[in-house]
Amino acid sequence: MTILVIAEQVDGVFRKVSFEALSAARKLGSEVDAVVLGSGIEAVAAELGQYGAAKIWVADDAALSEYTVEGYTQALAEIIGQINPEVVIVGATTQGKELSARLSARLNAALATDCVAVRMDGDQVVADRPMYGGKVLAEVVLGGTPAIVALRPNVVAAEAAPAAGVVEKVAVQAGEVWTRITGKQLETGKIDLTEAEVVVSGGRGMGGDDYSAIEALAQSLGAAVGASRSAVDEGWRPVTDQVGQTGKTVSPNLYIACGISGAIQHLAGMSSSKVIVAINKDPEAPIFLKADYGIVGDLFEVVPALTEEVKKLKG
């Protein structure tokens, strides 16, 4: 059985979820291959071998240097047609979700997106995925070949497992590309919310757009900063920071909610975190019912003190 992992790279650096997908793939089948698209990426491709890719298909083409959903769908459909994998795994990033959706229609293939687990049950591919923003966990069976699984970042540990990692160049056609990318604004070096191991979020209790206390705590923990919808609606934080049923679903090791009441839509997006800490001045706030540890107090006193304490610990 062949599992093909679609690896995602940004400027020659692989997203962590690509390695996580390889680790998930190794538990599914005997032959694990990877494919990476881009331009000038042949040299970095070998890294995928460190995580268990036996063969690494590299489509290195100027037309693929920037991700476009139609170009990548076309190229991947060709490659998948050649390799005929039983299962295709891709990271459920913004790009991965879009690409897998378009690819599922092109290949007439089963798709399960944002999966938190994937396994074989006899010869059936079975995946677990949250629905209703995490209020329910569904076990789904994917029929037909290939089955496409988009794996949520941060749910499977990336384990080093050196394999042959033979790089094979493939020539593919990007086909007709409609998308023209005319601008990009990316904060480099920022830890992405969905990939972060620690998330510190601030809600309406922040009282304004000064998030410096939250940012300092996040920095001391190597964490990403999140927000409740109220904070986004107030214009204090960008929409990409929103955690919840209509924002991002996160499952970090540690989630620290500051000045967040714990509305059902917010809880949906973060209750699969391993450990939850709530800091809120209202002892009756519902967030305390879901938190492993709670501090009742003014976040503007608690958060800076906590930051200092974390710094002491980390030395």
Partner 1 sequence: MEILVLLKQVPATESMIAIADDGVSIKRDGLKYVINPYDELAVEEALKIREAQGGAVTILSVGPAKAVEAIRTGLAMGADKGLLVDPGDLKCDGLAVARILAAAIKDTPYDLIVAGHRAVDDDNFQVGPAVAELLGIPNVSMVVEEAVAEGAITCTCTVEGGTKVVQVPLPALITTQRGLNEPRYASLPGIMKAKKKPLDTKSLADFGLTDADLQPKTIVRALRLPPERAAGRIIEGDTVQAKVTQLVKALHEEAKVI
Ligand X SMILES: Cc1cc2nc3c(=O)[nH]c(=O)nc-3n(C[C@H](O)[C@H](O)[C@H](O)COP(=O)(O)OP(=O)(O)OC[C@H]3O[C@@H](n4cnc5c(N)ncnc54)[C@H](O)[C@@H]3O)c2cc1C
Residues in contact with ligand X by CB under 6 A are 203-205, 228-231, 242-247, 259-261, 263, 265-266, 269, 280-282, 285, 298-300
- Asked if 69 interacts with partner 1 (CB under 8 A), we say yes
Under rule CB under 8 A, which residues in 6-35 are in contact with partner 1?
none
Binding partner of residue 203 among ligand X, partner 1, none, CB cut-off 5 to 8 Å per kind: ligand X
Q: Which of 29, 249, 235 has its CA nearest to residue 134? A: 249
Task: With H, G, I as helix, E, B as strand and everything else as coil, classify residue 9.
Answer: strand
Under rule CB under 8 A, which residues in 237-256 are in contact with partner 1?
238-240, 242, 245-247, 253-254
DSSP structural state of residue 218:
H
Task: Enter the tokens of residue 32.
Answer: 């694990």
- Asked if 54 interacts with partner 1 (CB under 8 A), we say no
Under rule CB under 8 A, how many of the chain's residues touch partner 1?
A: 97
Q: Which range touches partner 1 (CB under 8 A), out of 52-60, 79-87, 167-175, 302-310?
A: 302-310
Residue 306 Cβ, how far from ligand X at the closest point, in Å?
A: 12
- Asked if 144 interacts with partner 1 (CB under 8 A), we say yes
Q: Which of 193, 173, 284 has its CA nearest to residue 237? A: 193
Cβ neighbours for 256, distance < 8 A, ≥ 6 positions apart = 198, 199, 200, 201, 217, 223, 276, 277, 278, 279
Nearer to ligand X (CB atom), residue 282 or residue 308: 282
Binding partner of residue 56 among partner 1, ligand X, none, CB cut-off 5 to 8 Å per kind: none
Cβ–Cβ < 8 Å for 226, 281: no
Task: With H, G, I as helix, E, B as strand and everything else as coil, classify residue 120.
Answer: strand
Q: Distance (Å, rounded) from C-alpha 299 to C-alpha 304?
A: 8
- Asked if 201 interacts with partner 1 (CB under 8 A), we say no
- Asked if 181 interacts with partner 1 (CB under 8 A), we say yes
Q: Distance (Å, rounded) from C-alpha 307 to C-alpha 315?
A: 12
Nearer to ligand X (CB atom), residue 173 or residue 293: 293
- Asked if 306 interacts with partner 1 (CB under 8 A), we say yes
Task: Enter the tokens of residue 36.
Answer: 């990476």
Residue 111 Cβ, how far from ligand X at the closest point, in Å?
A: 23
User: How many Å from the N-terminal Cα to the C-terminal Cα in the chain?
Assistant: 48
Task: With H, G, I as helix, E, B as strand and everything else as coil, classify residue 170.
Answer: coil
Residue 42 Cβ, how far from partner 1 at the closest point, in Å?
A: 24
Nearer to ligand X (CB atom), residue 167 or residue 302: 302
Q: Binder to partner 1 among 155, 174, 260, 302 (CB under 8 A)?
A: 302
- Asked if 219 interacts with partner 1 (CB under 8 A), we say no
Binding partner of residue 157 among ligand X, partner 1, none, CB cut-off 5 to 8 Å per kind: none
Cβ–Cβ < 8 Å for 107, 77: yes
- Asked if 169 interacts with partner 1 (CB under 8 A), we say no
Write the burial class of residue 310 (CB in 10 Å: 0-12 exposed, 13-18 middle, 19+ buried). middle
Name the one residue in this structure whose structure tokens are 């929103």. 242
Residue 114 Cβ, how far from partner 1 at the closest point, in Å?
A: 6
Q: Binder to partner 1 among 232, 243, 257, 258 (CB under 8 A)?
A: 232
- How far, CA to CA in Å, does 306 sit from each of 12, 252, 286? 37, 19, 22
Query: Which residues on adjacent β-strands are paired with residue 279?
Result: 258, 295
Q: Which helix (H) or strand (E) holds 107?
A: helix 94-107
Nearer to ligand X (CB atom), residue 18 or residue 280: 280
Binding partner of residue 205 among partner 1, ligand X, none, CB cut-off 5 to 8 Å per kind: ligand X
